[in-house]
A and B are shown apart, each in its own frame.
Chain A
Amino acid sequence: MTTEVGSETEVKKDSEQAGADKAKDKPEEASDTPENQKSRKASSEEALDSSSVPVPTSQSSPRSQKKEKDSSESKGISRFLPPWLKKQKSYTLSEPKDEAKKKAVGEDQAIEESECQLPGEVAQPKRSLEEAATENQHNAKADEKEEKHSVSSAETQPAKEDGKEMEVEKVAEEKEKQVEKEKRETKEVQTGEIKMENIPQKSPKKIKTVQCKVVLLDGTEYSCDIEKRAKGQLLFDRVCEHLNLLEKDYFGLLFYENSDQKNWLDPSKEIKRQIRSLPWLFTFNVKFYPPDPSQLTEDITRYFLCLQLRQDIASGRLPCSFVTHALLGSYTLQAELGDHDPEEHCSDYINEFQFAPNQTQEMEEKVVELHKTHRGLTPAQADSQFLENAKRLSMYGVDLHHAKDSEGVDIMLGVCANGLLIYKDRLRINRFAWPKILKISYKRSNFYIKVRPAELEQFESTIGFKLPNHRAAKRLWKVCVEHHTFFRLISPEQPPKAKFLTLGSKFRYSGRTQAQTQQASNLIDRPAPYFERTSSKRISRSLDGAPIRISDQSLLRDFPTARGGPAGDKVIDIEGAGQAKLKEGSREENGSPVKTPQLELIQDGKSNSLRVDGENIYVRHSNLMLEDLDKTQDDLLKHQASISELKRNFMESTPEPRPNEWEKRRIAPLSLPAPGRHGSRKEGPCAGVSDADKSSHETLDIVEEKKQAEVGREETVVIDETNKGKMQVATDAGETCKVEHLSKKDSSSLPSDSSSSSSSESEDEEVGEYHPHHRAIEEVIREEQEEEDDTNRKKEHEEKIMQHVEATAEGSKLNVPAEHTAKVTAESLVQENAVTIATEEKNFSEEMKQDLGEEKEEEQLRLNGDVSHVDIDVAPQIICCSEPPVVKTEMVTISDAAQRTEISTKEVPIVQTETKTITYESPQFDGSTSGNAGVLLSAQTITSESISTTTTTHITKMVKGGVSETRIEKRIVITGDADIDHDEALAQAIKEAKEQHPDMSVTRVVVHKETELAEEDEE
């Protein structure tokens, strides 16, 4: 027995590590359905079996004497206790929590988890104290990870431990009870220590915890211990969990700097790097005010929004008229107190409420009067009414910042969902909607926006504001970046990857966008959670659920407990949403080929991804994004279902990243220094750098626009795909939309690499730029050097454009044809591909490593991002055919990059793809290729789809050299398997395009065909 256990210990360590790795590798797994988890567990157990290499018991760092003593004592005692006694004891200690846990956690899951941990735990008796401690650390860590995604998770460390014990107990029935119990005993001791002394335990990773306090919206305080090196996300997730809040993307944690300057905690960064002083004190607040709160899925979310707004109103941040104060106050009363009851509610019953900064008797009377009229409204209905009225207030969701204009006049800059508002006193004196803003930047204490030229104007203008100090400027800039991303984009763009030194901020919003969060919350499928309204102990009735009587207040407080609900229904949290999607996806995959009504014929994920990407584009370009959202969303949802599944596969099998041009572009600077780029790098910090930053798609569009503006040109891009197996890739594309779409990533990383000026995540960057649109359309991020002055800027700009072109040439097939028509040969492409693949692989693993230390979610995002490159690329690889007005085909570039990607990673399936790109281009192009950028007048994107095709029409109007031209670009994605006659479909598409615009000529047709070659065979 002894020996056995010993070996197991070692093995266990191993497996645990592996488990951790695994978790990293497959972040989405964590959010998997139980079944999935099962399989994962299984695999990790396999790993366990196979890995018999003893790992030296790590111990090293001296532990505190006291601790050692304590634990050894208890351990000693426990040794002598009969198992049943011990068991009992532990039960007593942890019972209440266990109960809670059991309720919350699905049985499956509990077992799974415990299984995972079991080996180590069994081994414990044998271990030295140090080992145990380490173990504990490991477990704790693993747990944390797990916890983030697990449905029920504990609020604090101790709770976690308890949970573990519970699981262990379950397992105990299957395993040797005795040993197990002993182990448990040990654990308890450890837990106790963590709790009581909060002593930083030393482990190989030196984990220290810090106490965080978070003031919640109802005024209560939540505190927890958090790893000192934890990122903001971890804390935020804990808080949301405590609040039982799923739609959490609208919220954030604020901390105050110098008492009055509020900063949002960046979830992607370590807390300690953001908040320098102890104690760690935060407030939980609404960060993005949903323009239409009725679209929130859950009442509980609306409730928190109400709380925030009540605060905003009472503090005067959200100004209201007298009547509105009274009206909103009356809804508050209705929500908190229920129907007006003349007996119970005597005249002073509202004294405890503050409805306005200056509350008068008259107002209170009015409130009561209105309260009487709301009879019968449930709290949830009252909240909804409250929000319906509050959302119409002109300052709703406007984040104000003090500034001075160029003449030194005091103004306020208000950032909101629609753009940037300029106030002088209370008057709105200007407004810049997001679509109008081309670039947002800051330098020292100055904040700049570059604005699209107005009608008939030729040039963009840059408007500068003076902020009180550098930090304020940066704060404003960040808020702008975040709001723009959240409200205007389908998916966030990825921060530039800082590999080298670059000046300037790398900051990007990394959370979900509104589109994504709405999508995710559509999948929330839990009984309406119960929550207690601040001042009422009443039943929380919800619009969507039956009234529930809450007998014990403590239950309410203890969210994890309440969560499971009487029904014991499975609670899906945001991550859970992902799970749901996964499930769906797998179901669909396994089951019928028909995924969703809309996707019926589009069976391969890739096409989906293409479509999604396309949508990204138009959305980005379209001013109508918010309005269009609904339509898109459905599709996205569907994608996600299948995509997540695919993504999982992808993760598990370590993708064979399908090298695509974009990928190449991204990586090129690293592996294959591109001459052009290097050159530009030398030119200076400003050189073109950032331009590269655009997402591939956007780059694409832009380049085309710039280079090709020709009068009345029409372009048809047809994507013809026949790859079914490719789904993985496609999947990821879809992923794009889902969690963190990294389409931007390529671009961002690219630029920074190429510019390579400097980087460093330091908080003190002096400058930062953000391009909500590139030129007219797009978002670019550029890092600027401080010295750069305005003169430089212009030059820079030019360089930028050039750089742009260059980058394009290197990277993308699509662009290449457009610009230097047939210069890139198939050969070179192939070569590049090969390189790319290798690099990609490397990157991938690197990233994984890096991520190890990070939270799961983060990782997930990142990984996804990588993946998404893949899909992205797929899309652009598409096909370009351009034809002269008379269908004379001047140039034909056929690049047949049949890529054989063999990546030897553990479980990498080998996928072969064949990609064909054919470009027909009209000679006229060359003239326009010279790079004279016209001035963009307007851009518009329309999408339509039929069963097997998706057509994206992008209409751009440019003024170039006094001639205005309209360019229509159609991207038609034809999806299906071999059954569809792609050629015919293509011909049809071109014909249609011609018919639709008889007065225009077709200048270019790019056909991109992707076929998958027997993927299954390889396996």
Chain B
Amino acid sequence: MAAPGALGRYSHAVVRALPEVPGAAGPGGPLDLAKAQRQLGVFTGILRQPLGLQVVALPPAAPCAVLLEDLAVLQGDTALLTRPWEPARRDELGSVRAVLEELRLRVVAVTDEGATLDGSDVLFTGREFFVGISRWTNHRGAEMVADTFRDFAVSTVPVGGGGHLKSFCSMAAPDTIAIGSSEAARHAMKAMEQLSDHGYGRLSVPDDPAGNCLFARLGAGGCALVHRSPEEFPQSLQPFQKLPGCTLVPASCSEVAKLGGALSSCALLVNTRPEA
């Protein structure tokens, strides 16, 4: 049971490095390996400082394996290992399970053979879950989320446009959802507003990818928001600047995006002291 205010409290971050294999490509085009590694490196650095997280790095696997978020849904002391839509990716689950168990989380796995679930279709707002029903995640996958996190309302949100739910939205602050401006994003936002008992603030950004950001509380009581860099999305910077009392940390993610990922995809954020 997350007390309001638990959102953004993390102690550890699990990341995975890119394999040193040239010529990797994702749906977004061929990957510039060096650039991708540089971006990931910067991102990992941000997780350490200023976010102050302990970073656990997993050994490299396939290029898309850097998208760790797809593999697990975390809330409180519980981790749900997903069942990614791409069968090949299910092999990556083992290492994730190992590290999560090591972090003393209660690890649950999706058992339903008919379920598919990508972690980046799951948005936890601090109060409830929204699960995007997308190309990657089906209804039964969403059910697994509901089954695992029983304290919370789990609502399904149809996601159009071929992306994940979190391709265009995320929590920008407690009770505030950052949302892109595409049709798919607006539809999803509307659905979420309709489904929720809570009134969420809406932080609209012009670019869908910029809607994916990463909110974290800092030890000292402040908070930080890691967002896509202005070099990538110059117009989306301004909305973030309206957030009061939040340290903005720009990060680039263009190469990972070619793999279908976003900022939040690159790490699993864990709080090993949910009750503290």
Contacts and interface: CB of A to CB of B under 8 A. Distances in A.
A430 B154 CA distance: 11
A518 B251 CA distance: 52
B1 interface: yes
A66 interface: no
Nearest to B148: A321
Nearest to B128: A394
Contacts of A418: 197
A425 B143 contact: yes
Contacts of B128: 394
A327 B1 CA distance: 9
Among A319, A321, A389, A427, residue most surrounded by chain B Cβ atoms (within 10 Å): A427
Contacts of A393: 1, 150-151
Contact of B153 (A320, A389, A394): A394
Interface string B83-120: 00000000000000000000000100000000000000
Given A321-B148, A427-B154, 15 more contacts: A319-B150, A319-B151, A321-B78, A323-B1, A324-B150, A392-B1, A424-B156, A425-B146, A426-B146, A427-B142, A428-B155, A428-B156, A428-B195, A429-B155, A431-B197
30 contacts: A320-B151, A321-B1, A321-B148, A321-B149, A321-B150, A322-B78, A323-B1, A323-B274, A324-B150, A327-B1, A392-B1, A393-B150, A425-B143, A426-B143, A426-B146, A426-B147, A426-B150, A427-B139, A427-B142, A427-B143, A427-B155, A427-B156, A428-B155, A428-B156, A428-B195, A429-B155, A429-B195, A430-B195, A431-B194, A431-B195
A323 B274 CA distance: 11
A717 B150 CA distance: 51
Nearest to A318: B150
A418 B148 CA distance: 25
Contact of B106 (A322, A327, A389, A426): A322
B153 A428 contact: yes
A320 B152 CA distance: 8
Contacts of B76: 321, 323
Contacts of B78: 321-323
Nearest to B140: A425
Contacts, number: 68
Among B1, B106, B142, B147, residue most surrounded by chain A Cβ atoms (within 10 Å): B1
A224 B128 CA distance: 45
Contacts of B143: 425-427
Nearest to B1: A324
B259 interface: no
A327 B155 CA distance: 25
Given A394-B128, A425-B146, A426-B143, A321 B151 contact: yes
B200 to A, nearest CB: 14
A427 B137 CA distance: 14
Interface in A419-457: 424-431, 433
B232 interface: no
Interface of B: 1, 76-78, 106, 128, 131, 139, 142-143, 146-156, 194-197, 274
Contacts of A327: 1
A320 B1 CA distance: 9
A863 B76 CA distance: 54
Interface string A304-341: 00000000000000011111100100000000000000
A47 B269 CA distance: 81
Nearest to A428: B155
A392 B142 CA distance: 21
Interface residues of A, number: 21
A598 B150 CA distance: 46
Nearest to A417: B197
B1 A428 contact: no
Contact of A323 (B77, B154, B197): B77
Contacts of A321: 1, 76, 78, 148-151
A266 B152 CA distance: 33
Contacts of A394: 128, 151-154
B198 to A, nearest CB: 10
A428 B154 contact: yes
B133 to A, nearest CB: 9
A432 B21 CA distance: 52
Contacts of B146: 425-427
Contacts of B149: 321
A430 B1 contact: no
B1 A389 contact: yes
Interface string A718-731: 00000000000000
A324 B146 CA distance: 15
Nearest first, the 3 closest Cβ-Cβ pairs linking A and B are: A394-B153, A426-B146, A319-B150
B131 A427 contact: yes
B158 to A, nearest CB: 10
A431 B198 CA distance: 12
Contacts of B147: 426
Contact of B150 (A320, A424, A428, A431): A320
A426 B1 contact: no
B42 to A, nearest CB: 35
Contacts of B274: 323
Contacts of A425: 139, 143, 146
A431 to B, nearest CB: 5
A701 to B, nearest CB: 25
A413 to B, nearest CB: 15
Contact of A431 (B148, B152, B196): B196
Interface string A58-83: 00000000000000000000000000
A271 to B, nearest CB: 36
B151 A392 contact: yes
Interface in A360-415: 389, 392-394
A320 B150 CA distance: 5
Nearest to B144: A426
Nearest to B193: A431
Contacts of B196: 431
Given A389-B1, A425-B143, A430 B194 contact: yes
Contacts of B151: 319-321, 324, 392-394
A429 B156 contact: yes
Among A392, A418, A428, residue most surrounded by chain B Cβ atoms (within 10 Å): A428
Contact of B154 (A322, A324, A426, A431): A426
Nearest to B145: A427
A394 B128 CA distance: 8
Among A320, A327, A394, A431, residue most surrounded by chain B Cβ atoms (within 10 Å): A394
